[in-house]
């Protein structure tokens, strides 16, 4: 019976996209985050508003790193993640994007996403983001996302540096409020 269970569960294990690791998350101030992003050449970024917002973003499955959330000109989320391959193809999408491209969308509207975020400073206006008619990409990052041999944030830096002239690319920091999750 045990062998049967293992055989039946194996296909589910093989198609799982999630790799979980215990990562030490240390408290960061907004000032420390500003310094961190400045060292990457980024002066404006978005932050989660509060702990309740982090919980809600988690409920809609938008707190992974790396992850990019993409919205079309009408404000609806575009699916750039291929569940079969467990891969996010945001960069490939941006390379081939044109207005004639057929898009797979979700029901998530940008207003329902942005209500959980705030600007790191006054240079980024949430209403301007909502009203933009460009493709908008939100790249999740965190200071704790640097592993021994790999900066998991690298995809976000590449998107920001290579595509911000053509699309609206926003860096989203997810460092804040994780310490409250353990309380």
Give the pLDDT confidence score for residue 23 in this predicted structure. 58
Beta bridge partners of 87: 82
Give the pLDDT confidence score for residue 83 in this predicted structure. 54
Tokens of 139: 């790249």
One-letter-per-residue 3-state SS of the chain:
CHHHHHHHHHHHHHCCCCCCCCCCCCCCCHHHHHHHHHCCCCCCCEEECCHHHHHHHHHCCCCCCCCEEEECCCCEEECCEECCCCEECHHHHHHHCCCCCCCCEEEEEHHHHHCCEEECCCCCCHHHHHHCCCCEEEEEECHHHECCCCECCHHHHHHHHHHCCCCEEEEEECCCCHHHHCC
Give Cβ neighbours of residue 135 (< 8 Å, ≥ 6 apart): 70, 71, 72, 73, 78, 94, 97, 167, 168
The Cα–Cα gap between 167 and 55 comes to 28
The Cα–Cα gap between 113 and 93 comes to 21
Give the pLDDT confidence score for residue 3 in this predicted structure. 38
Give Cβ neighbours of residue 33 (< 8 Å, ≥ 6 apart): 45, 47, 120, 143, 173, 175, 176
* Cβ neighbours around 125 below 10 Å, total: 10
Q: Which residues of the chain have pLDDT under 50?
A: 1-17, 85
What are the pLDDT digits (tens) for 130-156? 999 999 999 999 887 776 677 788 889
């Amino acid at each position: 019976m045990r062998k049967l269970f293992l055989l039946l569960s194996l296909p589910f294990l093989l198609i799982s996209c999630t790799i979980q690791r215990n990562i030490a998350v240390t408290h960061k101030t907004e000032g420390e985050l500003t310094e961190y992003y400045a060292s990457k050449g980024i002066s404006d970024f978005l932050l989660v508003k509060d702990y309740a917002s982090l919980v809600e973003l988690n409920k809609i499955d938008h707190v992974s790193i790396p992850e990019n959330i993409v919205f079309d000109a009408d404000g609806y989320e575009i699916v750039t993640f291929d569940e079969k391959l467990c891969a996010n193809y945001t960069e490939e999408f941006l390379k081939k994007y044109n207005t004639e491209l057929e898009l797979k969308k979700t029901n998530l509207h940008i207003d329902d996403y942005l209500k959980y975020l705030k600007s790191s400073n006054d240079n980024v206006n949430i209403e301007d983001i909502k009203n933009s008619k460009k493709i908008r990409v939100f790249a999740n990052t965190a200071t704790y996302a640097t592993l021994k041999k790999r900066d998991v944030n690298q995809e976000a830096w590449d998107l920001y540096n290579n595509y911000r002239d053509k699309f609206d690319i926003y860096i989203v920091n997810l460092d804040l409020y994780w310490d409250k999750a353990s309380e």
